[in-house]
Every structure is written in structure tokens, then in C-alpha cells.
Amino acid sequence: MVIGAGSGIGAATARQLAAEGARVCVADINLAAAQSVAESIAAAGGEAFAEFIDIAEEAAVNAAVAAAVETLGGLDGAHINAADLRVIFEDTDLLAEDVAVFDRTLQVNVRGHFLCTRAVLPALLQRGAGSIVYTSSGAADAGDSSRPAYAVAKSGLNALMRHVASRWGREGITANCVAPGFVYTPEMEAGGQVPQSMLDGFLGSMPATRLGKVEDIAGVVAHLLSDQGRWINGQVYNVNGGALMR
């Protein structure tokens, strides 16, 4: 189950997992986008179906996960990836920003992941094994003069992941985070809203020959969800072209 899979990194993970033979639930608050991703997977010969989910709402989370488990007959793994990125430009600095921006960021980007984890874990435990991968961000560790709520939420997500890894590792569950650096998603490119000067700035700040692509992140998530990733637990994987080295 990929949560927040209607576009960007989540859509790429859903495609990658399906290409590797998984049956995938493509879940998103934007059901039309999720349906379009699921249809493109089916057109490429994979198996996928869409579900509506709003990770800010506990009932919606539980209903979506129950529907996915029912359709799939169980659950092997979840990529919990959704974030509310609409308010990120209002996440300016601690003195300037509206408290509502802080609240909304934490409500979706960390509390939402808490709710998703509570919903998917019983299904994973029932099979005696399973993996959760969260999408964090290099912002959790970078130290930034802007986006304080986003960084706090992603740091919280890293802590939430370590709790899950340590509490349920002995019961066959692994939990890890992937922490992307700037990834130029197809939707960002199509929207044309990221100025060229900003793209040049990102590229100039890292020892790499190109910007990050959604597939760079999807490949790592798929590995963490695969049998080959079984002994990786409690880690934050930075995938950022070397922009942040730890």
C-alpha cells in the first residue's frame, strides 16, 4: 500500500513495486490522481487499484486500510509518503508564520503517519512480517532558516519510525525512512513553477551531475520493502545526490 501515491515520489514507488510484481493499493486524498496512476500501472501490465485516503482523518485512514487489506487479502508492506505541501510556502519562520500552518503541517506530515502506522501494523503483524517505509526529508537534519514546521514534522517522523522499528522488530516488522534531498518531480516540471535559478541553485549545492528524480527515491523504497531489505531496520536513508552527507 502506497499512501500519497497520486503523484510525485509515491506514484513512482507504486509503479516500481508493480513492475517488480507487487499488487499495489494506490492511496491518495486526490482519488482521481490515484485512479490515473493505477490505470497507468494496469496499462503497463501491473496490478493496482486506487483508494481514497485522507491521512488527517482517523476514520478515513482506517477505512482505506481496511479496504486495501480486504482487496489484497493481507498486507506485506506500506510506503507512508503523503505530506501536505500546499502550506510549505507559508512555513516561513517561527515568528512570522501563522500557528495554523504549524498545526496543519504536523497534523498531516507526522500525526497522519502515526494514524497510518496504527492502521497498517495489525495487518502486517498478522502475517508475522512486514515493512513500513516513511518518506522523511533531509530537512529533518539540515538546519534551515525557513520551513520550521516541515523540519519539526520530518524529525518527528524519524522518531516515530525508530519507535516502530524497536517495538516490533522482534515480531518481524521493519521500519525505515527514506530522506530525499530536492527531487524534481514530473508534476513540478509540468507546473513550471520552480524557477530555473532555484533549480540551478540546488544543482550547484551538491556533488552531482543532475537533480534528483522520483525514480531515485522509488528504487530505495522498493529495496527497503523487499526481501533483500529484511535486515535493515530503524534507519534513515538519505538519498540526495550527496547534498547532505551523514
Can residue 238 be called a binding residue for ligand NAD (CB under 6 A)?
A: no
Class of residue 125 by CB neighbours under 10 A (exposed 0-12, middle 13-18, buried 19+): middle
Instruction: Point out the residue whose Cβ comes nearest to ligand NAD.
Output: 8
Q: Binders of ligand NAD among 104-123, rule CB under 6 A?
A: 108, 112
User: In terms of CB distance, is 118 or 230 closer to ligand NAD?
Assistant: 118
Task: Give residues 16-75 in contact with ligand NAD (rule: CB under 6 A).
Answer: 28-30, 33, 53-56
In the stretch 84-103, what mask flags binding to ligand NAD with x, by CB under 6 A?
A: xx------------------
Residue count, binding to ligand NAD (CB under 6 A): 28
Spatial distance between the Cα atoms of 112 and 231, rounded to a whole number of angstroms:
26
Which three-class secondary structure state does DSSP give residue 164? helix
**Choice between 88 and 125, CB closer to ligand NAD:** 88
Q: Is residue 133 a contact residue for ligand NAD (CB under 6 A)?
A: no
Give the residue numbers marked as catalytic. Answer: 150
Tell me the CA distances in angstroms from 216 to 11, 55, 136, 139, 211, one per residue in order. Answer: 13, 25, 15, 18, 10
Pull the grid cell for residue 29: 486524498
b/e per residue, 181-198, with b = 16+ CB within 10 A?
Answer: bbbbbeebeeeeeeeeee
Q: Which residues bind ligand NAD (CB under 6 A)?
A: 4, 6-10, 28-30, 33, 53-56, 81-85, 108, 112, 135, 137, 180, 182-183, 185, 187
